[in-house]
Amino acid sequence: MATVAENLERIRERMNAACSRAGRDPAAVRLVAVTKTVPTDRIREGVEAGLTLLGENYIQEARRKIEALEDLAVSWHFIGHLQSNKARVAAECCDWVHSVDRLRLAVELDRQARKRNRVIPVLLQVNVGDEQSKSGVSPDDLPKLFEAVAALSGLSVRGLMTLPPYFENAREVRPFFRLLRELLERLRGIAPRPGELTELSMGMSNDFEVAVEEGATLVRIGTALFGGRPAISP
Ligand SMILES: *Cc1c(COP(=O)(O)O)cnc(C)c1O
C-alpha cells in the first residue's frame, strides 16, 4: 500500500494541473481529507504528511476520533447526513458542517452553537441531480433556505456543498458542478454579506479534477489518499 504522503503528493500534482488548466490559484483550493473508517494511526500519518482539514460523515465516529486525536492541530469538517438530535454533538466537536440541508437542522445547530458562544461555519448541501437517494435542498428551494439560515446568529453560511450523481466518466459530472457554482453566484446577489459566501465543497476521489476546473474551493478526498474502504463501515 502506498504511503499517505505519496498519495497526497500525487493528488496535489493533479490539483495543481487542474488549477493551471482553469487559470486558478492552487492556494484557493483546499483539501479535506475524508477519514471515515480510517484508523487513527493512519490519520496521524496523513497529518504528519501535511493534511490540515479532516472530514468525517458519521457523527459518533467523528466524536470518537476527534477525542482520540485532540492533540493534532487540525480542523474537523462534518460532511455526512446529520439528524437534528445529533446537532449537539456536531456543535461540541466539529469545526465546520458541510451538510446543512433543511431549516429544522439549521435551527437546532444554531441553538447549540449559541449555547456554546460559537458561530459555526456551515455550507448548504444542494441535491443538484434531484436524486431520491441523496439528501440536500433542491436548487429551487435553496434561496428560501439560505435566507432563513443567514438570519441565524450562531451559524455563518460560507457556501454550498454537493454530492452529484455518479458517472463512470467523470467528465459527465461537469454540468452539476457548474450548476452549484451558478447557484452560489445567484445567492451572492441576495446575501446580506456576500463576501462570506465563497466556498464550493465539491469533488471526491473520482472527479476532483473536474470539480477544481469548475471552481471547487474544498475538495473532499478519501479513497485516493488512504486507499479503499471496507465495504461495510464499522
Ligand atoms: C466518503 C465521502 C467522500 C470521499 O469519497 P472518496 O470517493 O473516498 O474520495 C466525500 N464526500 C462525502 C460526503 C463522503 O461521504
pLDDT for residue 228: 83
Nearest-atom index, ligand 1, CA of 36:
1
pLDDT for residue 213: 98
Write the CB contacts of 121 (distance below 8 Å, at least 6 apart in sequence).
Answer: 95, 96, 97, 155, 156, 158
DSSP assignment string, 129-180: T--TTS-SB-TTTHHHHHHHHHT-TTEEEEEEEE-PPP-SSGGGGHHHHHHH
**Which residue has its alpha carbon closest to ligand 1 atom 7?**
205
pTM above 0.75, yes or no: yes
Task: Please tell me the distance from the alpha carbon of residue 123 to that of residue 158, in angstroms, as a whole number.
Answer: 6
The string of pLDDT tens digits covering residues 51-70 is: 999 999 999 999 999 999 99
The string of pLDDT tens digits covering residues 5-29 is: 999 999 999 999 999 999 999 999 9
Nearest-atom index, ligand 1, CA of 221:
9
pLDDT for residue 234: 47
pLDDT for residue 224: 97
Which residues sit with their C-beta closer than 6 Å to ligand 1? 34, 36, 57, 79-80, 163, 204-206, 220-224
Task: Please tell me the distance from the alpha carbon of residue 153 to that of residue 102, in angstroms, as a whole number.
Answer: 16
| pLDDT band at residue 231 using 50, 70 and 90 as cut-offs | low
Give me the chain's average pLDDT, please: 96
Grid coordinates belonging to 31: 483539501
The string of pLDDT tens digits covering residues 172-193 is: 999 999 999 999 999 999 998 8
Q: Distance, CA 34 to ligand 1 centroid (Å)?
A: 6
Do the Cβ atoms of 197 and 191 come closer than 8 Å? yes
| pLDDT band at residue 41 using 50, 70 and 90 as cut-offs | very high
| Dihedral angle sign, alpha carbons of residues 161, 166, 170, 174 | negative
Question: What integer is the mean pLDDT of 137-142?
Answer: 98
pLDDT for residue 229: 74
| Dihedral angle sign, alpha carbons of residues 85, 89, 92, 95 | negative
- Is 90 exceeded by the pLDDT of residue 171? no
Write the CB contacts of 79 (distance below 8 Å, at least 6 apart in sequence).
Answer: 32, 34, 55, 56, 57, 98, 99, 161, 201, 220
Question: What integer is the mean pLDDT of 30-57?
Answer: 97
| pLDDT band at residue 96 using 50, 70 and 90 as cut-offs | very high
* Pocket probe mutation, ligand 1, options 133, 206, 220, max atoms within 8 Å of Cβ: 220
